[in-house]
Every structure is written in structure tokens, then in C-alpha cells.
Amino acid sequence: MTAVPASAGETSVPAEESGGWTGWVRRRALRSFPPDQLLPDKQPIYVASWIYVFGVATIAAFIVTLASGGVLALRGPAWWHGSSVGHFVNSLHLWSVELFMAFMVIHLWGKFFMAAWRGKRALTWITGAVSFLASIGTAFTGYLTQQNLASQWVSTQAKDGLNSVGIGAYFNVLDFGQMLMWHIVLLPLGVGILVVAHVLLVRRHGVVPPFPPKETQDRAATVDDGSVQA
Amino acid sequence: MRLGLLPLSPINLDHVGHYVHWGVIQISVANLLLILLMVVIFAAAILLPFPGTRRRK
């Protein structure tokens, strides 16, 4: 940690170099995510569309999923299978996941047709796509850990597919303990980190603008290939 | 206990599911309807005006 001068007469380290690694992280974070860019109160006019709502709806459903999953973890399968409140929270967990996946897929469709990777937004697109894949894995391991006939059926069907691609020894769907840990620790952590990274990248690069009008595109193409020169 | 709850369901679930077969594709009617509903919501999100858009212009 850098010493702070006791009086105005003492020599101090320039602000740009002070602070050691914490100072470096602080300067880097402020440069990458200025506060008005991290938490903006205005967005471009093209963001006023229903299609932009599904990203935040996905995050809202994800929060409900995490909260209801936390309650299920506290109370256990005897409670979620055997009491009316347990049935309710179990159903809340299921339906929040259903909404999470549906909203995420609609968000993905919207971003795909907008080519949302334009303008140096490739990493934003990639983190979104990978979090979608990780969510499928999380939902799958959730089916495996319901503690009922459905989970037994899903696991015995899935083991053949996973063994056929050679990963059954490392990802054993018949090992309840391993699947539970994947479902409640590793995969939610992975999805959570990816979602936070995705949102930070959206903040940094901004929401992708719509395609320009067709006349502008035609004019740009004409200038590019040099077919018309004034 | 769970079977006792079934008559309260709006839809009778006490039967084998309905499936659509189309070549190698096999999908339950419930999943197919859900995908169609998502397509309808997607189209509505594109076409319906967002509240407050006119005021902000």
C-alpha cells in the first residue's frame, strides 16, 4: 500500500501510479466501467421496444430460480414432495426455470436477427450463448435430482447417450451426489458468473443499434466497391 | 396423495402424452404448443408498440 503524505510539503507518488495492485484494479475498473455507463439512466430511442424486455425478464426469472432453489436446498426432498408449501416452492422453482429458458430463447432469437455481435460485441454474444448452454446443463441436472421416478427415468435414459460420447466416467448421471453438486454449486455458479459478465459487457459496449436503413446500406456498398465515383 | 390432487387440475394429466411424429422428428404436443406460443410472443414483441415511445420522440 502506498503511503499518503502527512503534509502538503512532502513528495507524493503520482495519482496514476499510486495504490499498488488495488489502485491498478480501481483505475482499470473506472476506465472500463465509468459510473454513468455502469448504471445509466437513459438509453437510445431504439431500446424502447418489447424485444429488449426479454433480457431483463430472463434475469428476473433467474433470481426467482436461485431464491426458490435456495429454499428447496434448506428444506430437502421430504418437504418439497410431502407438504403443500413444499409443492408450491417446488413448482415455483420449476416454472421460474420454464420462464427463464423461454425468455432467454426469445432474447436469443431477437439478438440473432439483429446480428448483435456487430460493433466489437462478439464477446457479449459469446457469453450469452455459453450461458444458454450452461443453463441447459443446469436444467438437466435439476431433472436428475428431483428424487422421484422422473429423475430415475431421465438418468437411465441419459447415461447411454453420455457413455456413447465417452464422458460417462467423468459426468456420471447415475451418481446422485455428483449430479446434485453440479446442479446446486458448479453450474449455477457458472451461469451466474456468465450472466454478470454478459451484463457488464452490455454496459461497456452498449445495446446494439438496429441495422441502418436500406438506402444507407446500398450507398455504403456502392462507395466500397468503387462502382460509382463522383 | 399426489393422485388425489389430479382431479383438481384444469387438464386431466392421467394418461399417456400426445406426440407428433414427422420423419425423424418426434415432439410432444405440449412442447410443440409451447414453442408456437414463444414464436407468437416473439412476433408480438417485434410488432407491438412500446408504451411511452411517442412521448419520448
Are A70 and A144 contained in the same domain? no
Would you tell me how many other CB atoms lie within 10 Å of the CB of residue A30? 11
Are A148 and A107 contained in the same domain? no
A55: three-class secondary structure by DSSP: helix
Is B19 in CB contact (< 8 Å) with chain A?
no
Are A120 and A202 contained in the same domain? yes
In a domain, A131, yes or no: yes
Are A59 and A93 contained in the same domain? yes
In a domain, A197, yes or no: yes
Residue A230, pLDDT score: 39
Residue B42 near residue A110, CB atoms below 8 Å: yes
In a domain, A122, yes or no: yes
Are A128 and A110 contained in the same domain? no
**Boundary (domain end) residue, out of A114, A139, A169:** A114
Is A149 in CB contact (< 8 Å) with chain B?
no
In this prediction the pTM is 0.81
Is B15 in CB contact (< 8 Å) with chain A?
no
Residue A173 near residue A144, CB atoms below 8 Å: yes
The fraction of chain A above a pLDDT of 70, given in percent, is 86
- Which A-chain residues 78-97 have CB contacts (< 8 A) with chain B? 82
Residue A43, pLDDT score: 85
**Chain A residue whose CA is closest to B57:** A45
CA distance A166 to chain B (A): 24
B50 to A102: CB separation less than 8 angstroms, yes or no = no
Give the integer Cα–Cα distance in Å for B35 and B21.
16
Residue B57 predicted with pLDDT over 50: no
In a domain, A147, yes or no: yes
Residue A50 near residue B48, CB atoms below 8 Å: yes
Are A63 and A104 contained in the same domain? yes
Number of domain units in chain A = 2
Are A124 and A100 contained in the same domain? no
Of the pLDDT bands very low, low, confident and very high (cuts 50, 70, 90), residue A158 is very high
Are A106 and A186 contained in the same domain? no
Residue A227 predicted with pLDDT over 60: no
In a domain, A139, yes or no: yes
Are A120 and A61 contained in the same domain? no
Residue A97 predicted with pLDDT over 60: yes
A63 Cβ neighbours under 8 A, 6+ residues apart:
none
Q: What are phi and psi of A164, to 5 degrees?
A: -65, -25
Are A77 and A124 contained in the same domain? no
Residue A121 near residue A112, CB atoms below 8 Å: no
In a domain, A161, yes or no: yes
Express each pLDDT in B3-37 by its tens digit.
555 556 777 778 888 999 999 999 999 899 999 99
Express each pLDDT in A26-69 by its tens digit.
999 999 888 888 888 888 888 888 988 999 999 999 999 999 99
In a domain, A221, yes or no: no
Distance of CA A57 to CAs A97, A105, A179, Å? 12, 11, 28
Is B40 in CB contact (< 8 Å) with chain A?
no
Which among A50, A87, A91, A111 is the top mutation candidate for probing chain B, defined by the most B β-carbons within 10 Å of its own β-carbon?
A50
DSSP A46: G
Would you tell me how many other CB atoms lie within 10 Å of the CB of residue A102? 19
Full domain range(s) for residue A202: 115-208
In a domain, A35, yes or no: no
**Boundary (domain end) residue, out of A60, A94, A114:** A114
CA distance B52 to chain A (A): 8
CATH of residue A125's domain is 1.20.810.10
Residue B11, pLDDT score: 75
Is B18 in CB contact (< 8 Å) with chain A?
no
Of the pLDDT bands very low, low, confident and very high (cuts 50, 70, 90), residue A229 is very low
**Chain B residue whose CA is closest to A54:** B45
End-to-end CA separation in angstroms for chain A? 62
Which among B35, B50, B57 is the top mutation candidate for probing chain A, defined by the most A β-carbons within 10 Å of its own β-carbon?
B50
Are A128 and A194 contained in the same domain? yes
SS3 for A12-34 is CCCCCCCCHHHHHHHHHHHHHCC
Are A131 and A177 contained in the same domain? yes
> Which stretch of A47-51, A52-56, A79-83, A184-188 has the lowest confidence by average pLDDT?
A47-51
